[in-house]
Amino acid sequence: MRKLIGVALVAGLTAASFAIASPSAQAFERRDGQKILVTAQRQAVPTMDPSVKYDASIRTMQQAMYDALLKYVDTPPRIVPWLAESYDVSDDGLTYTFHLVKGAKFHNGDPVDAEAVRWSFERTLKLGKGPAWMLNAFLKAENIKAVDAQTVTFTLDRPFAPFTSFLPWWYIMNPKQVLANEVDGDLGQKWLIENEAGSGPYRLKRVEQGTLYELERFDGYWRGFEGKLGGIIYKLIRESSAQRAALMRGEADLVTGLSPDEFDQVAKAKGVVTSTQPALTAFGIKFNTQGKLTSDINLRKAVAYAFDYDALIKIYNGRAVLQSSPFTDAILGKIDVPGMPRKDMAKAKEFLAKSKHPNGGIELEYVYVQGLEEERLMGLILIDSLKELNITVKMVPLTWANMVARGSKVETSPDMIAIFATPVSIDPDAVAIQYHPSSQGAYYGVHWLDDPELTKMIEEARFTTDWAKREPMYAEIQKKIVDLQPEIFGMMRERRIAYRDWVKGYEYSPVRMTEEVDFYPLYIE
């Protein structure tokens, strides 16, 4: 009887949940008669300091409040001039001269000048946090010079082709404002957690930690605005279903964290615009190439040929594409590598026969992020795929922190580990370097690959500045990586974004991280 009652109750409540009526859309928020755009996001923004940290949520806010010398836009991504209206490179590829736009102002009215640019780069390099790793091996703070108010030069230690591809992530701060708020020589670190000193389209109005962040339009923005928006509220809504509800009720104008199923549901609703976009993010199952079993390349190839790639796409309701190279589609110089492994049991068995375990009979460990349903399903695909090779798979869910910790040592790095990796730039080096020994132990370097020939190729390519010469080098690098099979090359998952139809101007670029949004072009009609 008790059981029956419980079942009835569950059924009743579930039915109620399905009976949810059509969205009762409210109008957008207003403040002082100005339209306010509300975006619902899953991740908090603990600090806004451009020199200290970046991730999808932090950069969404930073991008709204700060400008960089250059900026990424569009699909496929391009780099366009921003605070620098143009730049020249010396013939030896060492010196970059940037010419700043005139009339750009910080939010307190100070001009954005060459000294501010120099100081901002120096601050990030000195603190050695956040984006510092991108340039610290090639650029010394003392080699950045403010020549005059509008000109700044960077002299690199050696030619480094990806240099400009990193600059969109180095935001320019107002040194006067920051230093005025310095505590015990911290270069304003404490102050910049919840304050800003930028020149971007929006200024910070309100921070309610754990709840929301509010931005207001900076009327003196040097580039002006397309549509007029009074401000933006970045509201934390952590559950996918709550995000959906907020969008339906019109309490949020734009949401980024919907699950595939929730996304399909809102796509059918009236007044909601959805779009899926290709991303720079790659998913792969990385082998430990120095592991006890997986150091055997024939075993790795056998697993790669046995894997059911189509099932991978089904996990995402079809909203994903298989990788045709270790490089994802938006990466410059990406080619379709011939002979990319696809499910082929005959070949899988052939490779297994050549391995040290020709009859299988082994167990491989598959480590994935606890609670990530998609990665759990991928594990099930693995179990299913490898059964025919007489290989069993042990699924081990770990927290991200513990997973990274295991991967950071070659002895503890698991046989197989599920990894999503988003390169920070579209330069091919951003992906290639992941297969360089210097990446070993980082989350994308859990393959512990160490191939002297490949290493040499990667180093040569990154220090060549002529693209005509670099491009074929990267074609070879891609082939070489596939040949070494350090991972099961997986898929590129599409990004899902949904917004109310009154939101205009949404611009996407694959180089942005999952759930990162560029607020600048957005407005409400």
Partner 1 sequence: MLRFTLRRAVLMVFMLLGLLAITFTISHIAPADPAALAAGPDADRAMIERYRVEYGLDRPMYEQFAIYLQRLLTGNWGKSIHTTRQVWDDLVTYFPNTFELVMFSILIAVALGVPLGVVAAVYQNRPIDHTIRILTVSGVALPMFWLGLMAQLYFALHLGWFPLGGRIEMMTDPPQAITHLLLVDSLLRGQFSTFVEGLHHIVLPAVALCFPALASIIRVNRAEMLETLNQDYIVNARAHGLSTFRIVAVYALKNAMLPTMAMIGLRFGWMLGGTVLVETVFDWPGIGLYAVQAAISSDFEPIMGATIVLGFFFMMTNFVIDLIYGILDPRVREQV
The residue count for binding partner 1 (CB under 8 A) is 65
Tokens representing 92 are 């030896």
Nearer to partner 1, 186 or 336 (CB): 186
Which residues on adjacent β-strands are paired with residue 285?
A: 418, 488
Site string for partner 1, 2-21 (x = CB under 8 A): x--xx--xx--xx-xx-xxx
User: Taking contact as CB under 8 A, which single stretch among the options 45-53, 73-81, 324-332, 477-485 is the one that binds partner 1?
Assistant: 45-53
Chain residues 160-199 in contact with partner 1, contact rule CB under 8 A: 189, 193
Contact between 57 and partner 1 per CB under 8 A: no
**Closest separation between CB of residue 428 and partner 1, Å?**
16
Tokens representing 89 are 């490179």
Which residues on adjacent β-strands are paired with residue 235?
A: 40, 212
Distance CA 460, CA 476 (A): 12
Among residues 251, 264, 308, 459, the one that binds partner 1 under rule CB under 8 A: 251
Distance CA 222, CA 66 (A): 12
Contact between 52 and partner 1 per CB under 8 A: yes
**Closest separation between CB of residue 208 and partner 1, Å?**
7
**Closest separation between CB of residue 368 and partner 1, Å?**
15
Residue pair 216/203 in contact by the 8 Å Cβ criterion: yes
Contact between 270 and partner 1 per CB under 8 A: no
Among residues 35, 203, 217, 235, the one that binds partner 1 under rule CB under 8 A: 235
Q: Write the single-letter amino acid at 182.
A: E
Distance CA 263, CA 5 (A): 33
Burial classification of residue 393, based on how many CB atoms lie within 10 Å of its CB (0-12 exposed, 13-18 middle, 19 or more buried) = buried
Give the closest residue to 213 by CA, choosing from 55, 48, 56.
Answer: 48
Question: What's the distance, CA 192 to chain centroid?
Answer: 23
Site string for partner 1, 204-223 (x = CB under 8 A): ----xxxxx-----------
Q: Is the dihedral of CA 116, 515, 43, 220 positive or negative?
A: positive
Which residues on adjacent β-strands are paired with residue 217?
A: 202
Among residues 75, 151, 274, 402, the one that binds partner 1 under rule CB under 8 A: 402
Distance CA 59, CA 190 (A): 18
Nearer to partner 1, 299 or 369 (CB): 369
Residues that bind partner 1 (CB under 8 A): 2, 5-6, 9-10, 13-14, 16-17, 19-21, 24, 29, 31, 38, 46-47, 49, 52-55, 128-130, 132-134, 136-137, 189, 193, 208-212, 233, 235-239, 241-242, 245-246, 248-249, 251, 399-402, 404-406, 408, 412, 424, 438, 442-444
